[in-house]
Amino acid sequence: MPRVLITGTSSGFGLSIAVELARAGWTVLATMRDTSKRNELDRAVQAAGVTRNVSVSQLDVTDPLSIDRALAELDITAGGLDAVVHNAGVAVGGAFEDLDETSIRRIMDVNYFGVLALTKRLLPVFRAQRRGRIVIISSESAFAGQPGNSPYCASKWAVEGWAESLAYEVEHFGIEIILVEPGPYRTSIWKNSQRVLPNDSAYRPLLKHLEVTVEAYVAKAAGDPVDVGKAVARVLSARRPHFRNPVGPTAKFQHFARGKLPTRVLRKILGGFLGLQKVRW
């Protein structure tokens, strides 16, 4: 059975990816920063009847010692690895001027530097095998900026630029880089992410409007994260997967519009979609 390591599997996309790949016959090495939060994954795996295909380990992508321990525990070098799915991610909502440095750096540490750190440890394994697939769960946020979400967008733009560059360096060794770019989905990132909205913020009218508008959209139209799990299963089974793989209607539109429409037009479209003209400053 092929082996895949997945980060951030306690809920949301990571959980769905783990279950879908286990159903597809993969041996899933499911990892998460806090294994005390594994109950939701355990229940989903049991309900799917794939408990034998899934093991759970602690791995914090921002902690080099945690990465070392996890890879040693999972015996990656001796046991081999066919793919890694970088899913761990965090976000903080708020106007850039209101965000503290610690929050901004945390987003970059998890969403960008964490992907780099784990990949660097796995590349020697993939090179020795002359094969391997590196799947990165990016976002439609990598296609265009979003108000109240600038550090998260920056982290996704950064990881996509790095991935596109790395692809040149590793293709000779049979290593493939694949981006999966979901739009809005009902995951725990919406309810667990910190919202920064100071009473004295100059941006309070915009942020209050976005809070209501985005929450209403997510409740009405956000998709089931199972779709992303199935998308990952498809790209890992494909003989020649696409480099970029948008998932969901808004992501597919953004993917199409990227590079085809001027930024001012995209900003006008997104501003209209979010109803920014209704903000009373």
Residue 88, phi-psi category: left (phi > 0), alpha (psi -120 to 50), beta (remainder)? beta
Q: Could you give the 3-state DSSP secondary structure of residue 168?
A: helix
Q: How far apart are CA 132 and CA 123, in angstroms?
A: 9
Establish whether 217 is a catalytic residue.
no
Longest dimension (CA), the chain: 61
Residue 74: closest CA among 64, 62, 52, 59: 59
Tell which residue, 45, 51, 33, has the closest CA to residue 89: 33
* CB neighbourhood size of 8 (10 A): 27
Run of H or E residues at 161: helix 150-170
CA–CA gap between residue 254 and residue 258 (Å, rounded): 6
150 neighbors 215 (Cβ within 8 angstroms): no
Residues 252, 110, 122, 120: is their CA dihedral positive or negative? Answer: positive
Of 6, 1, 67, 79, nearest in space to 232 by CA: 6
Question: Strand, helix or coil at 162?
Answer: helix
Distance separating alpha carbons of residues 36 and 11, to the nearest angstrom: 12
Residue keyed to tokens 């009218």: 205
Give the CA distances from residue 87 to residues 16, 52, 156, 255, in Å, rounded to whole numbers and listed in that order.
11, 22, 12, 20
152, 185, 203, 217: which is the annotated catalytic residue?
152
Cite the active site residues: 152
